[in-house]
Each structure stands twice: as C-alpha cells, then as structure tokens.
C-alpha cells in the first residue's frame, strides 16, 4: 500500500511517521514544505516530495500512485483569514487526490458540534466537509478528537504547568464544561488502523476516553503528580483574561491559549460510537494513564514532537535568503586555540532550556519575561530534548532554521519584535563566528536595535567567549 502523509513535521505527524515506518506493508511518502526537517525519516526509508498544498504541481507529484492519503494540515498560525486558506488547501488536496485515483483520505479534526463550535473548530469542520465532498470518487475517514494528552501536546503542557506552578488554582468557570480527552498514542492507533479499515463510504469517527471536565482533569493531574492543590473556579469575564491566565503560567502564548480555551468553553464530547463499531480492538486508555505516559516520556527525554514544532506561517522566514537582507549585523569571532571544534559545536547545540545561555542568564530571563508579557513564547518552551536538536525544533524563543552537524547552527527569532532576527554560529578553520542579524520593520525596528544594542552587545560578546571557554 502506498501511503502519503502530509504534516509529518507537526505534533501528530511526527509520531505517525514513526508508526507508519514500522509498517512493512506500507510504502511511505511524505509531503513537506521543507525536506531538511525530515531527513531522519528519509534515511529510514520514507520518500519525500517537497511542496505546499497551495502549489498544485507539487501536490500532483505527491499523490501519484498513492492508495491512502493522510491530511494533517492546518493554517491556523497564519492569522487572519486562515479559514479561507484552510478551505483552499483542503480543496486542492481533494482535487489532486481524486484526479490521481487515491482510494481514501484520512483526516483528523476536532470534537464538537457546529452550533456551539469555536471559530477554529468551525474551520476544522469545514475542512472535513470539503474533504468528504466527493463520496462518488473518494472515501474519507474523518476522525475527530478532543483534547489530546501526550508529552509535548499544548493541552498537556498547560495542565502540567498550571498544576506544577500553582498551589492554589483559580481557573475560570468554564473549567466545569464537559470534554473527552484522549491519549496521543490512542489517536495514533486509530490513525494507523484507519488506512486498513474495511468499510464502504465516508465515515465520521469520534474518538476519546472518559467524559470529564477540565476541572477534573486538573484534579487528577495533581493526584498523579503527587501535588496537593486547591481549586477554586472564578468568574473570569473575558476570553482575553483567561488566555492571559494561561499565558502567565504555561509555555503557550496567548493566541494558542485562546484557541484552546475557545475550544473547550463549550462541550466537546463524542457524538457517535463509530470508534467502537469500526475499531473494536482499540480500547482507549484512561486520562490518568495518558498523563502517566506523558510524564514518563518527559522524564526519560523521549519527547518525539511538541505543539510548537510546525513552523506554520513562519516557514518562509527560515530560508537563508532572508538573512542577506539584514540591515544590522553584529559579528563576534573567537579563535578556538587548543579547543576542539567538535566540542565547541557540541556546546553550541546544548544552549538554552534548563542549561541557559552560559552567561548573563538573568538578562536572558528578563528578555524572556518581556517577550511573554508581549504575548510571545518567552523562554518557557525550553528545549524538546536536552541533548539533541533538529531543524524545526523550538529552543526558548528561537527556532532552529538550519543545522549542519559540526559546522553551522542558525536560529530564527520567534520573539515579538519590530523586525526579524537571526543568530548564527559557525565553526570552521579554527574559529567560532557568532553573528546576530536584524531586519528592522520601519522606524520602530531601527529604534529597537539602537536601544537594545548597549545590552545586547556585551551579552553576545560574552556568549561567544563562554562557548569557547566552557568547551575546554
């Protein structure tokens, strides 16, 4: 069976790729906007077609000869107008699949009903409807999941951080609304099995474990984490206030928090029992077990993917061409002397997260708090893995834009800034070169550079020095 997987660099996609690679009966092809992000999978046997759902030629190339195509894409991070982009993207995908004679599309959407759905959920429903609109030509299996619990999922990170950080939790009243969480491993079970399902016609399959409120989820999480917590739901009047509440205590920025809150403010429970009918062998684990697994994966540094993995609207910022346009450039060069180049490179790729930035950590933290207050990520995302980095990984308020082992690490800033910024490290010919680039947006951007330069210059100079010193 030839299987096409889209969104293989996303939270669900990375995990599903690993599962599909283990399936000896499936020949896996990935459709990716940046093939450098999936080199581990191509070396494990997956083919890759580089492209974008808005580029019809690349889509045609990707679906050639395919039996089953997974659609794990969304444009939510693109901001205003994402609903239209999502409709167009789904329509192009459907057209390409029907033209190529693909037998089945498997799509993962969200739980909930149209009448009470949030704007984001409505868009997910629209995508499902578009993908299911040609039952005469192609079958669509539309799985619908609510809150997904797994290491690195946004909902799990919110729950874990709130419980860890707040002895007295005062969540908004909507925490009492019913929802039906599911473990990420169970979602993967359903997704994998969906390609082999022997059933005719389009199917909508709601998946989930036990029904519970977000309040019960917080309560069970504190029990599992062995923390005694007091929970007093409060009447927080607006979505904005609730999002700030999440933003302050968790790694997710306000826009992601508000999307999640909107999603769970109204009931999101299963509307059909097709999961039990079509997949009788899959028995979803309890919420408690899902939590234990997620915590164990974090402890053992086994986090495969995180909610911040996809580059979404920022993918075009990751190409090197943009750096050439930088207006302000600050370069620090250090001789390595006796220090081995590979040791210096290793120190570079271990920066951030719990280890911090070697020197002036207080200033890095203050910058993180400022970013958080402006609605950005701050330093709260840390690293996915304390030892390893890959292209696309988020690293504090940066994202890995390029990584050439032993030679170059390029970070693109995801801070809330009046411009674009990059930080590049190269190790070659006995030297470490560390360069920060900034492309200002108008006067405000230029002002930002001049105001922050007196702080930033010594911090970056000292960072280059520390990278060599601490590699001795």
Ligand X SMILES: NC(=O)c1ccc[n+]([C@@H]2O[C@H](COP(=O)([O-])OP(=O)(O)OC[C@H]3O[C@@H](n4cnc5c(N)ncnc54)[C@H](OP(=O)(O)O)[C@@H]3O)[C@@H](O)[C@H]2O)c1
d(CA 339, CA 470): 10
d(CA 70, CA 369): 39
74 binds ligand X (CB under 6 A): yes
- Nearer CB in complex with ligand X: 118/435: 118
434 binds ligand X (CB under 6 A): no
Give min distance, CB of 392 to ligand X, in A: 6
Q: Which of 89, 132, 413, 426 binds ligand X (CB under 6 A)?
A: 89
303 binds ligand X (CB under 6 A): no
Name the segment binding ligand X (CB under 6 A); options: 9-17, 38-46, 272-280, 290-298: 9-17
- Contacts (CB under 6 A) with ligand X, residues 341-400: 392
d(CA 70, CA 124): 15
Name the segment binding ligand X (CB under 6 A); options: 236-244, 245-253, 303-311, 354-362: 303-311
Measuring CA to CA, how many Å separate 433 from each of 238, 325, 403, 406, 460?
48, 19, 15, 13, 11
- Nearer CB in complex with ligand X: 243/311: 311
Name the segment binding ligand X (CB under 6 A); options: 131-139, 218-226, 308-316, 450-458: 308-316
Other C-beta atoms closer than 10 Å to the C-beta of 54 total 12
Q: Which of 17, 75, 413, 436 binds ligand X (CB under 6 A)?
A: 75
- Nearer CB in complex with ligand X: 73/336: 73
> Rounded to the nearest 10 degrees, how much is the dihedral formed by the CA atoms of 248, 251, 255, 258?
-70
310 binds ligand X (CB under 6 A): yes
Contacts with ligand X by CB under 6 A: the residue count is 31
- Contacts (CB under 6 A) with ligand X, residues 146-185: 148, 153, 155
* Contact between residue 8 and residue 73 where contact means Cβ atoms under 8 Å apart: no
- What DSSP assignment string belongs to 234-252? B----HHHHHHHHHHHSSS
d(CA 336, CA 331): 16
311 binds ligand X (CB under 6 A): yes
Site mask for ligand X (CB under 6 A), range 104-143, x = bound: ----xxx-------------x-------------------
Given strand 394-395, what is the order of strands in its sheet? Answer: 328-335, 431-440, 419-428, 408-413, 398-404, 394-395
Q: Which of 22, 54, 196, 283 binds ligand X (CB under 6 A)?
A: 54
- Segment holding 433, helix H or strand E: strand 431-440
* Contact between residue 240 and residue 172 where contact means Cβ atoms under 8 Å apart: no
Site mask for ligand X (CB under 6 A), range 391-430, x = bound: -x--------------------------------------
Q: Which of 10, 172, 378, 419 binds ligand X (CB under 6 A)?
A: 10
Q: What is the 3-state secondary structure (H, E, C) of 4-70?
A: EEECCCCHHHHHHHHHHHHCCCCEEEEEECCHHHHHHHHHCCCEEEECCCCCHHHHHHHHCCCCEEE
Q: What is the CA 20 to chain-centroid distance, rounded? A: 20
Of 5, 35, 243, 274, nearest to 142 by C-alpha is: 274
Name the segment binding ligand X (CB under 6 A); options: 71-79, 162-170, 231-239, 371-379: 71-79
- Nearer CB in complex with ligand X: 11/357: 11
Give min distance, CB of 413 to ligand X, in A: 17
Name the segment binding ligand X (CB under 6 A); options: 8-16, 194-202, 246-254, 407-415: 8-16
Measuring CA to CA, how many Å separate 447 from each of 307, 419, 452, 458?
33, 11, 8, 19
- Nearer CB in complex with ligand X: 133/433: 133
* Contact between residue 124 and residue 110 where contact means Cβ atoms under 8 Å apart: yes
Give min distance, CB of 26 to ligand X, in A: 19
* Contact between residue 291 and residue 108 where contact means Cβ atoms under 8 Å apart: no
- Nearer CB in complex with ligand X: 261/463: 261
At 105, give phi and psi (nearest 5°).
-110, 135
Residue 419: helix, strand or coil by DSSP? strand
- Nearer CB in complex with ligand X: 30/323: 30
Q: Which of 3, 4, 5, 9 binds ligand X (CB under 6 A)?
A: 9
- Nearer CB in complex with ligand X: 392/440: 392
309 binds ligand X (CB under 6 A): yes
Residue nearest to ligand X (CB): 10
145 binds ligand X (CB under 6 A): yes
7 binds ligand X (CB under 6 A): yes
> Rounded to the nearest 10 degrees, how much is the dihedral formed by the CA atoms of 372, 377, 379, 380?
100
- Contacts (CB under 6 A) with ligand X, residues 32-51: 33-34
At 335, give phi and psi (nearest 5°).
-75, 140
Measuring CA to CA, how many Å separate 367 from each of 16, 155, 397, 424, 459?
36, 25, 10, 19, 12
Q: Which of 5, 13, 100, 169 binds ligand X (CB under 6 A)?
A: 13
Residues lying near ligand X in the complex (CB under 6 A): 6-7, 9-13, 33-34, 52-54, 72-75, 89, 108-110, 124, 145, 148, 153, 155, 309-312, 315, 392
């Amino acid at each position: 069976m030839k299987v096409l997987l889209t969104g293989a660099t996303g939270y669900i996609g990375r995990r599903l790729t690993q599962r599909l690679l283990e399936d000896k009966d499936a020949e896996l092809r990935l459709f990716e906007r940046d093939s450098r992000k999936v080199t581990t999978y191509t070396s494990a046997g997956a083919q890759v077609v580089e492209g974008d759902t808005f580029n019809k030629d690349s889509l045609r190339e990707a679906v050639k000869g395919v039996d089953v195509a997974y659609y794990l894409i969304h444009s939510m991070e693109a901001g205003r107008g994402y609903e239209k982009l999502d409709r167009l993207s789904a329509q192009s995908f459907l057209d390409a699949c029907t033209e190529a004679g693909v037998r089945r599309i498997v799509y993962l959407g969200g739980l909930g009903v149209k009448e009470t759905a949030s704007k984001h959920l409505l868009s997910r429903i629209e995508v499902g409807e578009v993908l299911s609109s040609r039952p005469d030509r192609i079958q669509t299996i539309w799985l619908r999941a609510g809150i997904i619990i797994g290491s690195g999922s946004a909902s799990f990170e919110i729950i874990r951080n709130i419980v860890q950080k707040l002895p007295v939790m005062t969540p908004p009243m909507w925490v009492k609304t019913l929802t039906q969480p599911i473990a990420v491993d169970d979602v993967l079970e359903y997704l994998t099995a969906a390609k082999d399902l022997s059933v005719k016609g389009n199917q909508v399959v709601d998946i989930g474990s036990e029904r519970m409120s977000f309040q019960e989820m917080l309560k069970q999480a504190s029990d599992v984490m062995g923390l005694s917590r007091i929970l007093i739901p409060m009447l927080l009047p607006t979505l904005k206030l609730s999002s700030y509440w999440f933003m302050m205590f968790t790694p997710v920025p306000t826009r992601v928090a508000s999307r999640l809150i909107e999603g769970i403010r109204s009931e999101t429970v299963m509307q059909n029992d097709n999961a039990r009918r079509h997949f009788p062998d899959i028995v979803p684990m309890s919420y408690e077990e899902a939590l234990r697994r997620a915590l164990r994966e974090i402890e053992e540094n086994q986090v495969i993917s995180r909610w911040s993995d996809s580059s979404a609207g920022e993918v075009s910022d990751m190409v090197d061409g943009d750096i050439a346009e930088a207006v302000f450039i600050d370069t620090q060069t250090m001789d390595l002397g006796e220090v081995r180049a590979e040791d210096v490179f290793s120190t570079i790729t271990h920066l951030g997260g719990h280890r911090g930035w070697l020197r002036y950590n207080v200033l890095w933290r203050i910058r993180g708090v400022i970013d958080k207050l402006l609605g950005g990520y701050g330093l709260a995302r840390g690293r996915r893995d304390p030892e390893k980095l890959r292209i696309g990984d988020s690293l504090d308020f940066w994202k890995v834009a390029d990584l050439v082992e032993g030679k170059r690490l390029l970070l693109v800033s995801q801070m809330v800034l009046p411009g674009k910024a990059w930080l590049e490290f190269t190790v070659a010919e006995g030297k470490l070169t560390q360069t920060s680039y900034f492309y200002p947006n108008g006067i405000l951007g230029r002002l930002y550079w001049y105001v922050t330069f007196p702080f930033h210059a010594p911090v970056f100079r000292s960072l280059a020095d520390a990278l060599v010193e601490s590699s001795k």
